[in-house]
Amino acid sequence: MSPIDVTCAIIVQNGQILATRRSESMPHPLKWEFPGGKVKGNESASECISREIMEELGVGIVVERPLSPVVHHYDAHSVRLIPFICTLEQGDISLSEHQECRWIPCHELDAVDWLDADVEVAAEVQRLRCQ
């Protein structure tokens, strides 16, 4: 089975990283993740992450650069998670799907109960941003 392409935003502000917590009604409830979603149709990964962040958080972002994709195999499917370092461009965060969001200092990323696919992304972010 081919992995599903999914993007996520590593939104950086004042040395902290935005994390969102999945609601109880979502798959993998109450796990923390970097916000984002599935690539649709012919859109590029960077177009996808801009659209998803507007839909999920109600804010515009500036996509700065991609990080290394991560392939993760869940029980019923596989994902190729494509992370992007981003900054907020406009608006105030308004959650439409997630239970909560939190700004996490870079050195605390390894203490978060991440969704499985996001664990490796968090480790890379910590290596890159906490030096």
Spatial distance between the Cα atoms of 72 and 69, rounded to a whole number of angstroms: 10
In the block, tokens 């993007």 appear at 7
pTM: 0.93
Instruction: Tokens for 84, please give them.
Output: 């992007």
- 107 backbone dihedrals φ, ψ, rounded to 5°: -70, -5
CB atoms within 10 A of CB 119: 15
> Residue 45's pLDDT is what?
97
> Residue 65's pLDDT is what?
94
Q: For the chain, give the number of residues.
A: 131
Q: Which residues in the chain land under pLDDT 50?
A: none
> Residue 131's pLDDT is what?
56
